[in-house]
Amino acid sequence: MSSQKGLPDQFREISALDRKACVDRWTAVFGTAPPKYLSVRFMQRVFARQLQIRVLGDYPGPIRRALKAASGAAQLGKPLPRLAAPGSYLMREWNGRTYQVEVTSSGYVLDGQSYASLSTVAKRITGAHWSGPRFFGLTRKRTH
């Protein structure tokens, strides 16, 4: 078991992992290769979160239950509660950059510029038409 005292060193080790090391570690931890589109930085964040849980513990029970309920609703195709209330932030990593979008009462703000729709923000980031809510993980892709 890792100790809190060694956390900074372990986090530095995780941040130094290259793609091959991340893929190897992902396969060892999850029993399967990671999806090809996952960035090294994203995988490093997953490993750091796992380390943090192992050493410091997980979220308190009420928060875990709320997350599980939201996840279950999403898997059933039900809308998630309070998808994006004004004052919240949406984050998405795309091509190695993390984008942070502020939700306002009149729309969305990315890099100081206002947008009326989340799909417009997604198009600004990717250069292609996307469903904004789906791009930011607020809805699931239809299976049919």
Task: With 0.75 as the threshold, say if the pTM is over it.
Answer: no
Summarised one tens digit per residue, pLDDT across range 45-64 is 999 999 988 888 888 888 88
Query: Is the predicted pLDDT of residue 77 greater than 80, yes or no?
Result: no
Q: Is residue 141 part of a domain?
A: no
Q: Is residue 108 part of a domain?
A: yes
Query: Is the predicted pLDDT of residue 144 greater than 60, yes or no?
Result: no
Please report how many Cα atoms fall inside a 13 Å half-sphere around the Cα of residue 144, on the Cβ side: 1
Average pLDDT over residues 110-118: 91
Nearest of 23, 58, 61 to residue 40 by alpha carbon: 23
Structure-block tokens of residue 84: 């994006």
Q: Is residue 102 part of a domain?
A: yes
Bridge partner residues of 104 (DSSP): 107
Which domain range does residue 25 map to?
A: 4-56
When divided into structural domains, the chain yields a total of: 2
Q: Are residues 52 and 95 in the same domain?
A: no
Q: Is residue 80 part of a domain?
A: no
Q: Is residue 82 part of a domain?
A: no
Average pLDDT, the chain: 84
Q: Is residue 14 part of a domain?
A: yes
